[in-house]
Structure 1
Amino acid sequence: MFISSTRRTRAATIFALAAVLAVAAPVAEARPGGGGGMGSRGSKTYNAPSSTATAPGAAPIQRSQTQPGSTMGNPGMTSAATQRPRFGGGFMAGLLGAGLLGALLGGGFFGGLGGIASMIGLLLQVGLIVMVVAFAVRWFRRRQGNPAPAGMSRSALQGDSTPGNYRSAPGSATGPGPAMGATPRGAPQPTVGKVDIGPGDFQSFEIALNDVQAAYGRGDVAALRNLATPEMAGYFTEELRGNESRGVVNRISNVKLLQGDLSEAWSEGRMEYATVAMRYAITDVTVDLRTNQTVETGEPEALELWTFVRERGGRWILSAIQQGR
């Protein structure tokens, strides 16, 4: 009786603490990407974007399908690759474990050390284990042989700016630079080049800002898949499903770009990237679907860096969002 009472008391205490923490926890912005940095920026995914007048700094990307040091295109464009199981899994680990344990305990693949052929059996086990380990090591080395360069940067996007108003971002430079994640020695470096961004591109970025926010506010997953990489569309879908499970909807309106700067623009092979710092006004409210009452209200302004990607000559789509600071 005492034990049951103690368990009930502990359960009640844990529940009360969880409730307090839930109330005390800061409310994240409900707009797309408001909960933290997400997406991929090619080889620059884990590099800080160049500082601009609009956003002197940026929070790092926290959720990405790009592995540090990887430059094999944009994983956001082919998101299924990162979900493949690693070589061997539990099967090869089980074989190795069985062989080693059998050797230690007197058993093994061929019946242990007992019998006339015990020594031959042990040698065969050791040889098989060495072959499997060597094969696995070579396979992993081939898997990890990916290059990791960086690109270049330039700045400017001030409302209706023209090419004559372009400014270089502080500390930026033309040509390759260091990237987080060491490049394996001897790995080939991909082609990194310059991308010219003009008024038409700036207009595309501003339109994308409005279209993504509007689609997210409508819960229009099909539109989001057309406006963003599969990786980003997947994150947005997760957030929308989370709202649905809570019985709420995020309603977004009155989005207006107030100030913007081009932080970086570069190419990696056939892919072109542009990271843009944007400060914009927004009406961002979360409404309870049962009562139609507002349960959360976001800040009236947001400062974010959006990265766009396209195949050369194609259409820009959203590839990453980071919070500015």
Structure 2
Amino acid sequence: MASSPARRRRVVTLLALAASLAVAAPAVDARPGGGGGMGWRGSKTFSAPPSTPTSPGATGPIQRSQTSPSPGFNNPGMAAPSQGRRFGGGFLGGMLGAGLLGALLGAGFAGGLGGIGSFIGLIFQIGLIALLVMLAVRFFRRRQEGAQPAMASHASYARSGPPPQGGPQGGGLQGGMNPVGGGYSGGARPQPIQIQPDDFQAFERSLTEIQGAYGREDVASLRRLATPEMVGYFEEELRANAARGVVNRISDVKLLQGDLSEAWREGPVEFATVAMRFSLRDEVFERASNRHVENGPQEAKEFWTFVREPGGPWLLSAIQQGR
């Protein structure tokens, strides 16, 4: 028996309602790092870097690292990158799907969509579920923020004068002495260090060179600019692109704003974490036909951590997302 026009309209209305309430999956950035947190920050690997004027909001956690947290370390950021999305999107989407299936089979959440009362009841239940999901997400976010007690509040950010000129993109990083404390690595307590203008220019050059090398799939250059761990992650991403038959081309990288989050020494090894807001042209093409597939974000805000041994160059050792 053919469905009545009223029933078809009801099903179409439900589908439109579900589409409007569905929780969309966040876009994954194609540039190096894929929009996630990865790498190594010494004893601070699982601690959020202090916020800065460039990135005053919360910092995304390290999600991939060859370093394991110390025993008893409470690290909410160790969850898989998509766990938060699965909680909201999977749970709510499953309930919506159940309701739509019930509508198509002649029964809704609470036993049928035959009348206007059932339809209003379905809308009410969907709204209630959405409210419960939103409250739960807020609860877990507050717990995560509470687990890392206001690292930014004692960042003691200080400027050392105008930004250095002559960097490759002219945006300029600025920073100064930034006391830090807490944590151990190999028995050596982190000690604050001073970052010089030449160091900031090196960080800015690394931003441009690493993005460019990634876009060219130039692994040899990436090995010169980053730690073996970071190069391993980049190679995984490049292999995934190749498997999809696409290539991610990055160009026109320009530092817009940057400053120091923290800088420290652990034994003979020095670390520096800088917040950088930069623009770029991030595009994906089909590898075989060179057909343009999609555009990535045109501006990004990230924390990059660099490490160096005595007498050695600064190497990229971690990327985290800023806000």
Aligned partner of 2:281 in structure 1 is 283
Once residues 248 and 227 of structure 1 are traced to their aligned partners in structure 2, the CA distance between those partners, rounded to angstroms, is 24
1:67-216 correspondence to structure 2 within 5 Å: 67-69=68-70, 154-156=157-159, 159-160=163-164, 166=175, 174=179, 176-177=181-182, 179=183, 189-216=187-214
Cα distance per residue 1:82-136 (max 9 Å; x no partner): xxxxxxxxxxxxxxxxxxxxxxxxxxxxxxxxxxxxxxxxxxxxxxxxxxxxxxx
Cα distance per residue 1:247-298 (max 9 Å; x no partner): 0000000000000010000000011000000000100001012232221211
The 3 A distance-change label for structure 1 pair 226 and 30 is same
Is the CA contact 1:34–1:323 (under 8 Å) kept in the aligned structure 2? no
- CA displacement at 1:64 relative to structure 2: 0.5
Is the CA contact 2:31–2:211 (under 8 Å) kept in the aligned structure 1? yes
Once residues 322 and 160 of structure 1 are traced to their aligned partners in structure 2, the CA distance between those partners, rounded to angstroms, is 24
- CA displacement at 1:154 relative to structure 2: 4.8
Aligned AA for 1:160? P
Aligned partner of 1:306 in structure 2 is 304
Aligned partner of 2:236 in structure 1 is 238
Once residues 288 and 208 of structure 1 are traced to their aligned partners in structure 2, the CA distance between those partners, rounded to angstroms, is 27
Is the CA contact 2:275–2:322 (under 8 Å) kept in the aligned structure 1? yes
Once residues 47 and 38 of structure 1 are traced to their aligned partners in structure 2, the CA distance between those partners, rounded to angstroms, is 13
Match of 2:254 among 253, 256, 259: 256
Identify unmatched segments of 5+ residues in structure 1: 1-23, 71-149
Aligned partner of 1:63 in structure 2 is 64
Cα distance per residue 1:147-171 (max 9 Å; x no partner): xxx9x8755587427xxx7467xxx
Aligned partner of 1:7 in structure 2 is none
Once residues 68 and 233 of structure 2 are traced to their aligned partners in structure 1, the CA distance between those partners, rounded to angstroms, is 17
Identify unmatched segments of 5+ residues in structure 2: 1-23, 72-150, 166-173
Percent of residue pairs identical: 58
The 3 A distance-change label for structure 1 pair 159 and 252 is farther
Aligned partner of 1:54 in structure 2 is 54
Once residues 255 and 281 of structure 1 are traced to their aligned partners in structure 2, the CA distance between those partners, rounded to angstroms, is 6
RMSD after superposition: 2.6
Aligned AA for 1:44? K
Is the CA contact 1:217–1:251 (under 8 Å) kept in the aligned structure 2? yes
Q: Mean Cα displacement is larger for which, 189-198 or 215-224?
A: 189-198
Aligned partner of 2:169 in structure 1 is none
The 3 A distance-change label for structure 1 pair 155 and 293 is farther
Aligned AA for 1:318? L
Aligned AA for 2:43? S
Normalised TM-score (structure 1): 0.59
Aligned AA for 1:217? G
- CA displacement at 1:54 relative to structure 2: 0.3
Normalised TM-score (structure 2): 0.60
Aligned partner of 2:43 in structure 1 is 43
Once residues 291 and 269 of structure 1 are traced to their aligned partners in structure 2, the CA distance between those partners, rounded to angstroms, is 51
Is the CA contact 1:43–1:69 (under 8 Å) kept in the aligned structure 2? no
Once residues 41 and 281 of structure 2 are traced to their aligned partners in structure 1, the CA distance between those partners, rounded to angstroms, is 28
Is the CA contact 2:37–2:319 (under 8 Å) kept in the aligned structure 1? yes
Once residues 43 and 261 of structure 1 are traced to their aligned partners in structure 2, the CA distance between those partners, rounded to angstroms, is 21
Is the CA contact 2:175–2:259 (under 8 Å) kept in the aligned structure 1? no
Is the CA contact 1:155–1:264 (under 8 Å) kept in the aligned structure 2? no
Is the CA contact 1:159–1:260 (under 8 Å) kept in the aligned structure 2? no
Is the CA contact 1:253–1:283 (under 8 Å) kept in the aligned structure 2? yes
Is the CA contact 2:31–2:250 (under 8 Å) kept in the aligned structure 1? yes
Structure having the higher Rg: 1
SS in 2 for 1:255: strand
Is the CA contact 1:52–1:155 (under 8 Å) kept in the aligned structure 2? no
Aligned AA for 2:285? V
